[in-house]
């Protein structure tokens, strides 16, 4: 059933608009918010008053003088209004970050991960408690209340937010969200790590204000996050964006999915290192691969160029089908971007339609490996803005 549309829904929608306008334009005045959201200044005044009342927004004491007329009072999301926590859960490590409700980073930490569910959940729980405890303001007062937690996991999640399969962690049909919500006592949002990272790029990174973009990343596999028409696109079952299993070499290298020639058998960190090993180059990670390439190792260079070429073919399919404005190379792909980009661009030139190719921008993620935990923040922010009723 569709949600009811009534006065309360209007207020919520407009309040969220004001929130994001203020988040993206810190210390701006009510007048600016009015112009940014398109709402009347009277309406803006009422909404801001309510947000101040609830403690979500604070007015600056020092008025900013303009050339003439009454000076503006700068507004801001109150740091004391609450805390968001984002996490990246991987087999080896767990990264945790806490931010204000506006998304400004407060604390970070990194702790060991585990493929054992109970152990991983315990580490996560303890790590979050520690980060929240460390996120107290300077005066030594109590930390702001925890408003939401978002977690990016290398897993297939269905549309209901259930974990279906996490091959690297060895988990299947694990009710991770209820488990965590019970343990942590705050709203928990779990999503695929790549989709979370795409959300982060949209809210905090290279894609602010971009309606249609593709986020690419490569760790054990190659993932794609599709942001289409101003929102994260999930598909019918929640599995959209699986670029890693496009066939790029018919009859090529065997893939864990049972098929052959999948993109991720050529482009993921795992497969690049495996191929290097087959050719007598034992490399621990992609940083080593980038270093070797920088030193002029022809074998590693050829591998990375081939990876770029294959990625470019798959990406050209993506571009022809979805006509994005921007493509972001994120995650581990950003480490080797400089060696991958030339052949990637050439493949795009060759296989993408000219008008789509011409206006396509391709950037390396500014968030880099922090994109996933910041994606958790994005999930949590989205969640706490979506709760009906007054925000706090």
Give the residues lining the site for DNA (CB under 7 A). 4-8, 10-11, 14, 29-31, 39-43, 45-49, 63, 65-73
**One of 106, 246, 300, 327 touching its own copies (CB under 8 A):** 246
Say which entry of DNA, its own copies, none residue 47 contacts (CB below 5 to 8 A, set by partner kind): DNA
> Phi and psi for 182 in degrees, rounded to 5?
-65, -40
**One of 42, 62, 160, 236 touching its own copies (CB under 8 A):** 236
Alpha helices in the chain (DSSP H): 7-24, 30-37, 41-53, 117-134, 176-184, 193-204, 264-267, 269-278, 286-294, 298-322, 337-351, 354-358, 371-386
Does position 239 interact with its own copies (CB under 8 A)? The reply is yes
Query: In this structure, what DSSP letter does residue 224 have?
Result: E
CA nearest neighbour of 23 among 366, 380, 381, 371: 381
Size of residue set near its own copies by CB under 8 A: 58
To its own copies, the closest distance from the beta carbon of 353 in angstroms equals 5
CA distance 287 to 31: 48
Does position 4 interact with its own copies (CB under 8 A)? The reply is yes
Does position 251 interact with its own copies (CB under 8 A)? The reply is no
**One of 256, 321, 338, 388 touching its own copies (CB under 8 A):** 321
Q: Tokens at residue 107, please?
A: 């604390």
Does position 298 interact with its own copies (CB under 8 A)? The reply is no
To its own copies, the closest distance from the beta carbon of 156 in angstroms equals 8
To its own copies, the closest distance from the beta carbon of 290 in angstroms equals 28
Residues 6+ apart with CB under 8 A from 53: none
Query: In this structure, what DSSP letter does residue 332 have?
Result: G
Beta-strand pair 105-112/213-218: unpaired
> What is the contact mask toward its own copies in residues 162 to 181, using x (rule: CB under 8 A)?
--x-----------------
CA distance 377 to 196: 9
| Near its own copies in 180-219, by CB under 8 A | 211-212
Label residue 252 exposed, middle or buried (CB < 10 Å: 0-12, 13-18, 19+).
Answer: middle
Say which entry of DNA, its own copies, none residue 71 contacts (CB below 5 to 8 A, set by partner kind): DNA
Does position 25 interact with its own copies (CB under 8 A)? The reply is no
Query: Which residues, listed in sequence order, are joined to residue 111 by a DSSP beta bridge?
Result: 94
To its own copies, the closest distance from the beta carbon of 58 in angstroms equals 25
**One of 51, 57, 176, 243 touching its own copies (CB under 8 A):** 243
Say which entry of its own copies, DNA, none residue 306 contacts (CB below 5 to 8 A, set by partner kind): none
CA distance 234 to 195: 9
Does position 392 interact with its own copies (CB under 8 A)? The reply is no
CB atoms within 10 A of CB 156: 17
To its own copies, the closest distance from the beta carbon of 173 in angstroms equals 13
Does position 223 interact with its own copies (CB under 8 A)? The reply is no
Biggest CA–CA distance in the chain, Å, is: 73
To DNA, the closest distance from the beta carbon of 115 in angstroms equals 47
**One of 52, 156, 288, 299 touching its own copies (CB under 8 A):** 156
Q: Which residues of 234-246 are buried (b: 16+ CB within 10 A; e: fewer)?
A: beeebebbbbbbb
CA distance 238 to 352: 26
Say which entry of DNA, its own copies, none residue 133 contacts (CB below 5 to 8 A, set by partner kind): none
**One of 320, 338, 368, 386 touching its own copies (CB under 8 A):** 320
**Which contiguous run of DSSP H or E holds residue 216?**
strand 213-218
**One of 27, 237, 338, 386 touching its own copies (CB under 8 A):** 237
In the complex, which residues of this chain contact its own copies (CB under 8 A)? 1-7, 9-10, 13-14, 17, 37-39, 156, 164, 211-212, 224, 226, 228-229, 231, 233-243, 245-247, 257-259, 313, 316-318, 320-325, 350-351, 353-356, 359
């Amino acid at each position: 059933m569709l949600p009811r549309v009534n006065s309360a829904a209007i207020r919520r929608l407009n309040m969220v608009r004001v929130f994001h306008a203020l988040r993206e334009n810190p210390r701006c005045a009510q007048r600016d918010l009015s112009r940014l959201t398109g709402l009347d200044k009277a309406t803006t005044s009422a909404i801001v008053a309510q947000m101040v009342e609830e403690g979500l927004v604070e007015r600056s004491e020092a008025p900013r003088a303009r050339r003439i007329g009454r000076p503006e009072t700068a507004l801001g999301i109150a740091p004391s209004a609450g805390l968001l926590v984002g996490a990246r859960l991987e087999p080896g490590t767990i990264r945790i970050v806490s931010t204000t409700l506006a998304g400004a980073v407060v604390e970070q930490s990194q702790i060991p991960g585990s493929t054992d569910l109970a152990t991983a959940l315990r580490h996560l729980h303890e790590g979050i408690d520690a980060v929240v405890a460390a996120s107290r303001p300077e005066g030594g007062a109590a930390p702001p209340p925890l408003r939401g937690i978002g977690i990016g996991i290398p897993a297939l999640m269905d549309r209901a937010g259930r974990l279906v399969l996490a091959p690297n962690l060895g988990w299947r049909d694990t009710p991770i969200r209820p488990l965590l919500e019970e343990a942590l006592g705050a709203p928990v949002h779990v999503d695929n790590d790549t989709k979370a990272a795409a959300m982060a790029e949209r809210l905090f990174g290279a894609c602010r204000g971009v309606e249609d973009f593709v986020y690419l990343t490569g760790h054990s596999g190659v993932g794609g996050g599709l942001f289409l028409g101003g929102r994260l696109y999930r598909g019918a079952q929640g599995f959209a964006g699986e670029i890693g299993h496009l066939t790029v070499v018919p009859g090529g290298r065997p893939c864990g999915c049972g098929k052959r020639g999948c993109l991720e058998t050529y482009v993921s960190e795992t497969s690049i290192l495996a191929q290097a090993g087959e050719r007598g180059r034992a490399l621990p990670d992609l940083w080593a691969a980038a270093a070797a390439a920088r030193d002029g190792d022809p074998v590693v260079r050829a591998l990375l160029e081939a990876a770029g070429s294959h990625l470019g073919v798959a990406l050209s399919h993506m571009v022809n089908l979805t006509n994005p404005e921007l493509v972001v190379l994120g995650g581990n792909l950003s480490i080797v971007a400089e060696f991958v980009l030339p052949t990637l661009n050439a493949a795009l030139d060759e296989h993408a339609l000219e008008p789509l190719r011409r206006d396509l921008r391709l950037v390396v993620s500014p968030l880099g490996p922090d994109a996933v935990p910041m994606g958790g923040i994005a999930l949590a922010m989205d969640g706490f803005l979506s709760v009906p009723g007054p925000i706090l």
